[in-house]
Structure 1
Amino acid sequence: MSLCIAAGGKVIALVASSFTLSWSHSTAHTEWWERWEVTAEGLRPVEARILGAGAGMEPPPDAVLKADGWHYRPDLPPQREVFLAASGATGGGWRLCVDEDCRTLGTTEGEPLRLWQADACGADG
């Protein structure tokens, strides 16, 4: 199964059973981190961490504070596709990692990044 990424007019395919996303909020510069599974039903968020809170970024009520931030399990079903907005205001974009293979996406303002799972990735997924 592949994790498909549409960014900058290109489609990238990564063989993956899971991946992580991390980014900094554009206003509060608070670090966010999520781990997702790539399943036959879609992309499923399974774990998340917020380093701090503020400006509409409060951790959910069931979050647990640990040394590296607030930890929680997102309550979302598998998603057929995920869109990531690229505002250009964060200075760093999104960091997507599959195992040790990490890449930065969405560092400049533009059309949204699109993620989905497929056996073979195509632009129309």
Structure 2
Amino acid sequence: MLGVCLGLAGSIWAQVPAEQITLSWTHTIEKVRWAEDYRLLPEGFILEQARVKGSGAGMEIPADAVLIDGSWQYKPKLPVLPMLKLGRTPEAGDYQLCVSSSGMSQQCHPMSYWVGEPTTAQPSIELWGCDIK
């Protein structure tokens, strides 16, 4: 079964069964919610859609974005991403990770649910596709 591995430098801290994920967070300065929907393939993540509640420092809304239900939505044109590398510190707060797969309803939890609270000693995390037994 395909899933998401969470860890760093190939060291697996947690595995979560998933075919699709939504990664969301609140911008530390602008306090604006950001969300990205990914489909998981054996070779990596496909970013299918992104949503942002507003613009701000480093968060310009793309010209092709459409305002739907209070969020600017758009489809980034990126190649398959073999890995997602995320900064993760106590000052910035935690990510929310929602996962879903066939026959399973979407489950959403703070990333700390799977890997513990963000720490200054470990200020980053990586996500990649992996086989879960």
TM-score normalized by structure 1? Answer: 0.84
CA RMSD in angstroms comes to: 2.0
Match of 1:98 in 2: 99
Deviation at 1:14, TM superposition (A): 1.3
Consecutive unaligned residues of structure 1, counting only runs of 5 or more, are: none
Deviations 1:73-123 (A, max 9, x none): 011111111111013223x310001133222136443331110002249xx
- Tell me, yes or no, if the aligned pair for 2:5 and 2:12 is still in contact at 8 Å: no
Give the secondary structure class of the aligned counterpart of 2:61: coil
Matched residue count: 119
Look up the match of 1:88. 90
Secondary structure at the aligned position of 1:89 is classed as helix
Runs of 4+ that moved beyond 6 A: none
- Which secondary structure does the structure 1 equivalent of 2:35 belong to? strand
Paired amino acid for 2:97: L
Percentage identity across paired residues of the two chains: 33
The correspondence of residues 1-125 of structure 1 with structure 2, limited to 5 A, is 1-6=2-7, 11-90=13-92, 92-99=93-100, 100-105=106-111, 107-109=118-120, 110-120=122-132
- Specify which structure has the higher proportion of helix: 2
* Residues in 2 aligned to 1:13 and 1:68: alpha-carbon distance in whole angstroms: 33
Task: Please say which of residues 25-34 and 110-119 is displaced more in the overlay.
Answer: 110-119
Separation in 1 of the partners of 2:88 and 2:29? 14
Code of the aligned partner of 1:82: L
Single out whichever of 27-36 and 80-89 deviates more from structure 2.
80-89
Q: What residue ranges of structure 2 are gaps of 5+ in the alignment?
A: 101-105, 113-117
Query: What's the TM-score once normalised by structure 2's chain length?
Result: 0.79
